C-alpha cells in the first residue's frame, strides 16, 4: 500500500515499463474475475434464449424470449415452491437466532455448574455433518411423525453449533458495565437479555440472519430426504427434478436455475460487505 | 418467563422481593439452564442422538417398514468385502487428494491477489466469492450444460487446444477431475476470505523490515507470509478435508451432476451410503458405513493434530 506513496523507481529501470506492471496485473485479475462469474452469466443468458440458440457463444440472445420463464411459472407450481422455501428458510432463521442468542448469552455471561461441559458438548456437534447422520436422523424424524411436514423441514435445521459459537464469542466481548447498570436497577435476566443484550447484538444477528437464510434457501439434501409431497417441495429439489424430466431442455432448466439463484445473488449484492466480513472473521478467532 | 429469570440480582431489594426460596446464586443457575435448554435439547436430539444412533444402527438389519433385527457385526464385515464401498473409499481419497491442495493454493493465491484495499480489489473479491452464493444444485446444472460433449462451451473453447474431443463428464478417467474443478470454482471464494482474515493479522512492520533488508516479493512470501499463516493454513486444511469427505456440498454436486457415474468413478462414500439407505433401504448397512467414515475422519483429525503438535505453531 505504501508503494504508491513512495515511488521506488530510482534504480534506473525504464519507468514506463515499471509503471505498466500494475496495470497488467490489474487486467489479469479482472480477466480471472470475469472468468469466475462467466458460468453464471451464461446461465442468465440461456434463460432468455430459444432452444436452438443454447450452445451458441454469444452472451446476448439474438432473439430474446421470455418463453422459458413463462414455462417455469405456468407448467409447474414454481410459485408454491418459492413460497415453501422462503417460509422454511425464514422460520429457521428467526427461531435459530432467538435460541442461539439465548444460549450464547447464558454461555458467555451466566455462571452455572456444567456450563463449560455443555458448551464443549454443543461445540463438538460441529464435526457432525448431515450426510453422516442422515440415516439415523431420518429414522428419528420419521418416528416423531414429522415425515412430509413443514415441521420436519424446519425443526432439525434450526440447531447448529456455529451460530451459538459466534454469538457466545460476541457476548464475551460486550463490556460487563452495561449489564451491571441494569442489575442495579433490579432487572431480571430475561429483561437484561431482551432489552439490553438483544439490541446490542443487532449487527451480529443481522450478519448471521443473512448467512442462515442463504444456507437454508440453498439446502438440498435434507428437503430431498424428508419430503416427497409435492405441496412441500422446495425450489432446490424442484430444480434438480427438472433435470430428470426435461433432459435436453436446458433452456427451461437454466430459467428455473436463474429464478432460484437470483434472490441469493441479490441478497449478496446488497449485503456483500457484511457477508464477506462475517465469514472472514469466523475463520479462527 | 419464569420466576427465577425475573429476579436475578444480588441487591437487597431484589433479594427481598424474590422471597427466600432461591439464593441469587441459584437463581443465576436456573436462569442459565433455562436459557441454554432450547438449543441444548435440540442439538442433542437432532445431532448428538443421531450420531450415537449411527454407531448402534450398524449392528442391526433394518427394513424400510420399521422392522429391525440384531445382526451383530454382519454389516461391518460386509463393507470390507463390498467392492463398490471399497471403490467409493478410493474415489473419496482421490477427491480429497486433488481438492484439498488445489483449494489451498487457489484460495491463498486469490487472497494475495486482492489483499490490498482498493475499489478494484473489492469488486474482484466479490466476483471471486459470488459462486458461493448459488446453490450446488444450480452450480451442478450450469456446469452440466457448459460441459455437454462437443457442443458445450467448455469443449468448444478447449477445442482450440485440441482438447475438444474430451468427454468431461462421460469419461471415467476425467469425471472426477471435472467434479474437482467445479468444487474449486465454487469453494475458492470462501477460502480466499479465510486467508484474507489470516493475512490481516500479520503485522505490517514485518514486511517493512524485510523490505529494508532488501527482501523481494517471493522472499517475503516464503519467510514472513507462509510461516505466519500457519494457524490459518491448519484451519483451511482441516475444514476442507472434513468437508470433502463428509460435507453436504460434495453430496449435492455428485447427486445432481454425475449420480456417481460414469462407472462409479465419482461415487463418493457419502453418495454410496445415501444410495444404499434411500434407494435400497439398507439402513443398517448404510449406518455401519457412515460410522466407519466418521472413525476415519476422527483418526485423520487426530493425525493432523499430532503432526502439527496439537494445532500449535511456533513462529520461528
Q: Which of B13, B40, B256 lies closest to A243 in CB terms? A: B256
The alpha carbon torsion through B218, B223, B225, B228 (nearest 10 deg) reads: 170
Predicted local confidence at residue B251, as pLDDT: 94
The answer on pLDDT for B314 being more than 70 is no
Lowest-confidence segment of A46-55, A104-113, A136-145, B263-272 by average pLDDT = A46-55
> What angle, 0 to 180 degrees and rounded to 10, lies between the N-to-C axes of helices B230-246 and B83-113?
150
The answer on pLDDT for A259 being more than 90 is yes
Q: Which of the pair, A179 or B134, is modelled with greater confidence?
A: B134
The answer on pLDDT for A249 being more than 60 is yes
- Going along A95-199, which residue ranges are E strands? none
Lowest-confidence segment of A134-138, B41-45, B149-153 by average pLDDT = B149-153
Predicted local confidence at residue A283, as pLDDT: 55
Lowest-confidence segment of A53-62, A187-196, B8-17, B69-78 by average pLDDT = B8-17
- Mean pLDDT on B278-293: 90
- Mean pLDDT on A10-18: 53
Taking the C-alpha atoms of residue A23 and residue B165, their distance in angstroms, rounded to an integer, is: 36
Which residues of chain A make contact with B249, given a CB cutoff of 8 A? none
Please provide the average confidence, as pLDDT, over all residues in chain B: 86
Predicted local confidence at residue A6, as pLDDT: 44
Q: How many CB pairs under 8 A join A and B?
A: 298
The answer on pLDDT for B107 being more than 90 is yes
pLDDT digits (tens, 9 = 90+) for B296-308: 888 888 887 787 7
pTM of the model: 0.86
Task: Identify the CATH class of B76-307.
Answer: mainly alpha
- Write the ipTM: 0.86
Q: Where does residue B16 rank: exposed (0-12), middle (13-18), buried (19+ CB within 10 A)?
A: exposed
Chain B: give the shortest CA distance to residue A201, in Å.
16
Predicted local confidence at residue A31, as pLDDT: 94
- Domain architecture of chain A: domains with CATH: 2-68 (no CATH), 70-282 (1.10.3720.10)
Chain A: give the shortest CA distance to residue B3, in Å.
9
Chain A contact for B187, CB < 8 A?
no
Chain A contact for B192, CB < 8 A?
no
The answer on pLDDT for B222 being more than 80 is yes
Q: Which of the pair, B92 or A10, is modelled with greater confidence?
A: B92
* Contact call for residues B77 and B284 (beta carbons, < 8 A): no
- Mean pLDDT on B240-263: 90
Predicted local confidence at residue B65, as pLDDT: 65
Q: Where does residue B49 rank: exposed (0-12), middle (13-18), buried (19+ CB within 10 A)?
A: middle
Predicted local confidence at residue A257, as pLDDT: 94
The answer on pLDDT for A88 being more than 60 is yes
The alpha carbon torsion through B179, B246, B251, B97 (nearest 10 deg) reads: 10
**Residue written as cell 427451461?**
A252
Q: Where does residue A213 rank: exposed (0-12), middle (13-18), buried (19+ CB within 10 A)?
A: buried
Asked if B53 and A139 come within 8 Å (Cβ–Cβ), the reply is yes
Q: Which of A191, A236, A285 lies closest to B135 in CB terms? A: A236
Predicted local confidence at residue A39, as pLDDT: 94
Q: Which of B20, B40, B212, B36 is nearest to A8 (CA)?
A: B212
Which residues of chain A make contact with B60, given a CB cutoff of 8 A? none
Burial profile A146-168: b = 16 or more Cβ within 10 angstroms, e = fewer: bbebeebbbbbbbbbbbbbbbbb
Predicted local confidence at residue B9, as pLDDT: 47
* Contact call for residues A274 and A210 (beta carbons, < 8 A): yes
Return residues 27-46 of B near A (CB < 8 Å). 27-33, 35-36, 38-40, 42-43, 45-46
Run of H or E residues at A234: none
Chain B: give the shortest CA distance to residue A37, in Å.
6
Count other Cβ atoms within 10 Å, centred on residue B20.
7
Taking the C-alpha atoms of residue A263 and residue A252, their distance in angstroms, rounded to an integer, is: 18
A140, A142, A163, A188, best to mutate vs chain B, most B CBs in 10 Å: A188
Q: Which of A105, A159, A184 lies closest to B43 in CB terms? A: A159
Predicted local confidence at residue A169, as pLDDT: 85
Q: How confident is the model at residue B132 (pLDDT cuts 50, 70, 90)?
A: very high
* Contact call for residues A214 and A267 (beta carbons, < 8 A): yes
Percent of chain B with pLDDT over 90: 45
Which residues of chain B make contact with A184, given a CB cutoff of 8 A? 9, 11
Residue extents of the structural domains in chain B: 3-57, 76-307
* Contact call for residues A126 and A165 (beta carbons, < 8 A): yes
The answer on pLDDT for B4 being more than 50 is no
Please provide the average confidence, as pLDDT, over all residues in chain A: 86
Taking the C-alpha atoms of residue B109 and residue A32, their distance in angstroms, rounded to an integer, is: 12
Q: Which of B6, B53, B252 lies closest to A136 in CB terms? A: B53
Burial profile B270-280: b = 16 or more Cβ within 10 angstroms, e = fewer: bbbbbbbbbee
- Mean pLDDT on A218-235: 93
Asked if B137 and A239 come within 8 Å (Cβ–Cβ), the reply is yes
Predicted local confidence at residue A156, as pLDDT: 95
**Phi and psi torsions of B69, nearest 5°:** -145, 135
Chain B: give the shortest CA distance to residue A193, in Å.
10
pLDDT digits (tens, 9 = 90+) for A26-70: 899 999 999 999 999 999 999 998 888 888 878 888 888 898 898
Percent of chain B with pLDDT over 70: 89
Grid cell locating B219: 522472499
Which residues of chain A make contact with B36, given a CB cutoff of 8 A? 102-103, 106-107, 115, 118
Amino acid at each position: 500500500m505504501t508503494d504508491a506513496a513512495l515511488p521506488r523507481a530510482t534504480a534506473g529501470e525504464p519507468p514506463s515499463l515499471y509503471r505498466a506492471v500494475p496495470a497488467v496485473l490489474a487486467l489479469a485479475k479482472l480477466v480471472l474475475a470475469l472468468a469466475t462469474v462467466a458460468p453464471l452469466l451464461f446461465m442468465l443468458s440461456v434463460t432468455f434464449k430459444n432452444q436452438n440458440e443454447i450452445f451458441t457463444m454469444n452472451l446476448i440472445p439474438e432473439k430474446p424470449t421470455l418463453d422459458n420463464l413463462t414455462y417455469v411459472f405456468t407448467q409447474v407450481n414454481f410459485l408454491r415452491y418459492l413460497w415453501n422455501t422462503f417460509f422454511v428458510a425464514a422460520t429457521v432463521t428467526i427461531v435459530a437466532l432467538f435460541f442461539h442468542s439465548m444460549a450464547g448469552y447464558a454461555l458467555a455471561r451466566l455462571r452455572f455448574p456444567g456450563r463449560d461441559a455443555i458448551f464443549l458438548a454443543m461445540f463438538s456437534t460441529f464435526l457432525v455433518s448431515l450426510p453422516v447422520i442422515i440415516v439415523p436422523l431420518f429414522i428419528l424424524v420419521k418416528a416423531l411423525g414429522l415425515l412430509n411436514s413443514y415441521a420436519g423441514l424446519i425443526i432439525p435445521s434450526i440447531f447448529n453449533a456455529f451460530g451459538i459459537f459466534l454469538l457466545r464469542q460476541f457476548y464475551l466481548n460486550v463490556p460487563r458495565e452495561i449489564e451491571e447498570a441494569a442489575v442495579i436497577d433490579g432487572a431480571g435476566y430475561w429483561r437484561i437479555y431482551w432489552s439490553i443484550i438483544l439490541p446490542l447484538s443487532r449487527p451480529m444477528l443481522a450478519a448471521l440472519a443473512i448467512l442462515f437464510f442463504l444456507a437454508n434457501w440453498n439446502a438440498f439434501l435434507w428437503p430431498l430426504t424428508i419430503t416427497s409431497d409435492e405441496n412441500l417441495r422446495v425450489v432446490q429439489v424442484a430444480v434438480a427434478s427438472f433435470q430428470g424430466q426435461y433432459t435436453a431442455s436446458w433452456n427451461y432448466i437454466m430459467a428455473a436455475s436463474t429464478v432460484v439463484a437470483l434472490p441469493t445473488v441479490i441478497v449478496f449484492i446488497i449485503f456483500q460487505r457484511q457477508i464477506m466480513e462475517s465469514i472472514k472473521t469466523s475463520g479462527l478467532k | 418467563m419464569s420466576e427465577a429469570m425475573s429476579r436475578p440480582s444480588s441487591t437487597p431489594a431484589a433479594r427481598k422481593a424474590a422471597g427466600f426460596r432461591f439464593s441469587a446464586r441459584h437463581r443465576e443457575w436456573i436462569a442459565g439452564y433455562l436459557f441454554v435448554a432450547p438449543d441444548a435439547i435440540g442439538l442433542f436430539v437432532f445431532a448428538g442422538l443421531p450420531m450415537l444412533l449411527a454407531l448402534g444402527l450398524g449392528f442391526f438389519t433394518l427394513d424400510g417398514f420399521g422392522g429391525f433385527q440384531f445382526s451383530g457385526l454382519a454389516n461391518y464385515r460386509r463393507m470390507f468385502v463390498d467392492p463398490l464401498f471399497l471403490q467409493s473409499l478410493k474415489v473419496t481419497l482421490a477427491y480429497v487428494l486433488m481438492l484439498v491442495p488445489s483449494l489451498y493454493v487457489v484460495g491463498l493465491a486469490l487472497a494475495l491477489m486482492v489483499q490490498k484495499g482498493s475499489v478494484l480489489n473489492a469488486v474482484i473479491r466479490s466476483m471471486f466469492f459470488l459462486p458461493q452464493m448459488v446453490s450446488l444444485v444450480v452450480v451442478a446444472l450450469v456446469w452440466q450444460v457448459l460441459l455437454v460433449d462437443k457442443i458445450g462451451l467448455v469443449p468448444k473453447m478447449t477445442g482450440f487446444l485440441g482438447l475438444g474431443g474430451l468427454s468431461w463428464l462421460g469419461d471415467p478417467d476425467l469425471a472426477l477431475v471435472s467434479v474437482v474443478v467445479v468444487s474449486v470454482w465454487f469453494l475458492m471464494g470462501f477460502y480466499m476470505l479465510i486467508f484474507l482474515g489470516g493475512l490481516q493479522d500479520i503485522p505490517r512492520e514485518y514486511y517493512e523490515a524485510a523490505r529494508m533488508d532488501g527482501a523481494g516479493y517471493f522472499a517475503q512470501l516464503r519467510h514472513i507470509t507462509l510461516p505466519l499463516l500457519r494457524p490459518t493454513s491448519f484451519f483451511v486444511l482441516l475444514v476442507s478435508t472434513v468437508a470433502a469427505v463428509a460435507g453436504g456440498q460434495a453430496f449435492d454436486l455428485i447427486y445432481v451432476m454425475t449420480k456417481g457415474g460414469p462407472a462409479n468413478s465419482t461415487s463418493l462414500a457419502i453418495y454410496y451410503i445415501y444410495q444404499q439407505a434411500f434407494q435400497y433401504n439398507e439402513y443398517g448397512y448404510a449406518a455401519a458405513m457412515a460410522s466407519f467414515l466418521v472413525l476415519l475422519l476422527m483418526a485423520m483429525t487426530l493425525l493432523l493434530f499430532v503432526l502439527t503438535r496439537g494445532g500449535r505453531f511456533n513462529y520461528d
